[in-house]
Amino acid sequence: MHGFEELKPESNNNNSASGPWYKELNRYHWFVFVVAALGWLFDTMDQQLFTLGRPLAMVDLIKALPEETPAQLSLRQKEFGGYATSIFLIGWATGGLIFGVLGDRWGRVKTMLATIVVYSIFTGLSSFSRGFGDFALWRFLTGLGVGGEFAVGVSLVAEVMPSRARPHALGLLQALSAIGNITAAVIGMVGTDWRTMFLIGTAPALLSLVVRRRLKEPERWQSVSTTDGVTKQLGSYSELFGNPELRYRAFIGLLLASAGVIGLWGIGFFTADLQREVFGPVIEKEGFHGQPQEFLFKFFTGKDPSTAAKADVLKFLSGLVLLLQNVGAFFGIYMFSHVSHYLGRRPTFAICFFGAMLTTANVFWNLGKFDGVNDIFWMVPLMGFFQLSVFGGYAIYFPELFPTRLRSTGISFCYNVGRFVAAIGPFTLGKLIRHVFSDYASQGAAVPFRLAGVTMCSIFLLGLIALPFAPETKGKPLPE
C-alpha cells in the first residue's frame, strides 16, 4: 500500500499461546513496565493537579475590575481558566512534537528522563505565580514535558514487551494513569490549596534517578539506530509525511486523538467546575446533606460539613468528582484492551466514542436534577469510563501504526498535534459560556455551563466519522 510494507498477522504460535499474558513477562519486562507506568502516572497527576488548582488559582490571580459585578467577575475567571487550559495544551502539543522526534533520535530512555525533569520543575514553579501572565508561562513550560512523556513511554513498552502481551500491557499502562489522577483527587479532597498542589508536583523528579541508572534502550530501537541510521533517518517528520501510507495513518490518528482530547480537556475535565455552579447555591442555602458525601467529607478533612465553609465543601466535591471520574476511567481504559482483542480496534473505538458522547451530555445536562449531589456517584464514573476508554485505545493503537524508526515521532504527531487542535476546546467552552449562552443565566447560574458542555459533545462525532478510514491492526505485529 503506497510503498509501505503491509502489516502481516502474528504467527500461529503467538496467537495460540495459552495462559495469562503476564506469564510471558520476565523481571526486566516488569521493571520497564513499572518505570513507564510511574512516569505516566506522575504525568497525569500533574495534569489533574492543574485541573483542580485552576479554578482556585483564577480566583486568586484574576481580580475584579472597578465596573464588574460579582457575576461578571465569575464569568471572566471561568473564561481565563479556559485560556490557561488552552495555553497548557499548546505547550503540551509543542513539547510532544519536539520530544517525539528526540525519542526516536536520542532513544526512549534519555528522552523519558528529560520529560520527567521538565514537567516536575515547572510544575513547582507554577506555585509561585503572582498573576495570570506568569502562571500561563509556567503552565506552557510544564506542558512541554508533559506532552513528551506519553509517546516515549508507550514506544518503550511496546518495543520491549512480548507480542502477545503488548496490547494488554499497554492497556494496563494507560489504565494506571488513572491512579495518578486519583492521587491528585485525594490531594484536592483533603483541602490542599492550589500553590501547595503544584509544589507536590515536583516529586516525580525523583523517578528520574531510577530511569537514569537502571533502564536500557529497547533492542528494537538499538538495532534500527545502528543498522538503518545511515539510510533511514530516525525521528524525521519529512520521512513520516514523505511516505503516503505513513502520512495517511498519521492524519487518521490525528482525527481520532483530536476527538478524545477535546472531549476530555474541553468538556470532561470541566466537570469539577460544573459541580461548583450546580451545587454552590444548594450548599449555601441548605447546607451539606447526603450520607455518602457527609461521611467522606469527615473522613478526608476531619471537619463537620454542617459547620464547614462553603469554599471547603466545594473544593472537596471537586476532588470527589475527579476521583469518581477516574475510578470509572481505570476500568474503561483497561476494558479497551480486552474488548479490542475480540472485536478489533475500530469497533471498540466506535463503542467508546458513542458512549462518551451520550454520558458526557448526560452529566452536563442532568447533574443534580435526579438526586442532588448523589448524582455524581453514578453519572461521573460512567462518563469517566467512556471518555477515558478511548485513551486506552490510543496507547494500544498508535504504536501499531508506525515503524520503529518513526514510532515515537508518529505517536507524538497523532497525540500532540491533536492537542494543538484540542486547545480550541477550553477556549470555545469559555466563549460559549460567557458570550453565547450568558443570557440563559437568568434561568440559573449553571445553565450557560450546561448548554456549552452539551453543545461541545458533538466533537465525539469526529472520531466516529474517522473510524471507517482507519486501518485495522488487530492480531498484527508491530511494523518494523
Whether 297 maps to a domain, the answer reads: yes
Binned at pLDDT 50, 70 and 90, residue 360 comes out as very high
In what helix (H) or strand (E) does residue 224 lie, and over which residues does it extend? helix 219-227
Whether 8 maps to a domain, the answer reads: no
CATH of residue 186's domain is: 1.20.1250.20
Cα–Cα dist 284/286, whole Å: 6
Contacts of 40 (CB under 8 A, 6+ apart): 149, 150, 153, 173, 174, 176, 177, 180
Whether 475 maps to a domain, the answer reads: no
pLDDT at 13 over 50: no
Give all strands (DSSP E) within 326-442, no chain letters: none
Whether 106 maps to a domain, the answer reads: yes
Whether 308 maps to a domain, the answer reads: yes
Whether 430 maps to a domain, the answer reads: yes
- For 425, counting Cβ atoms within 10 Å of its Cβ (0-12 exposed, 13-18 middle, 19+ buried), the class is buried
Binned at pLDDT 50, 70 and 90, residue 106 comes out as confident
> For the chain, what is the mean pLDDT?
84
Whether 463 maps to a domain, the answer reads: yes
pLDDT at 214 over 80: no
- Of 386, 321, 40, the residue nearest 179 (C-alpha): 40
Whether the Cβ atoms of residue 246 and residue 4 lie closer than 8 Å to each other: yes
Give all strands (DSSP E) within 205-249, no chain letters: none
DSSP type of residue 437: S
pLDDT at 393 over 90: yes
User: Based on the structure, what is the number of domains in the chain?
Assistant: 1
> How many residues comprise the chain?
480
Residue 76: predicted pLDDT:
86
Average pLDDT over residues 378-384: 96
Whether 478 maps to a domain, the answer reads: no
DSSP per-residue string spanning 306-358: TTS-HHHHHHHHHHHHHHHHHHHHHHHHHHHHHHHHHH-HHHHHHHHHHHHHH
pLDDT at 306 over 50: yes
pLDDT at 75 over 60: yes
pLDDT at 6 over 60: no
User: Lowest-confidence range among 3-17, 141-155, 319-333?
Assistant: 3-17
Which residue range forms the structural domain that includes residue 84? 25-223+234-469
Residue 366: predicted pLDDT:
93
Cα–Cα dist 130/123, whole Å: 15
Binned at pLDDT 50, 70 and 90, residue 163 comes out as confident
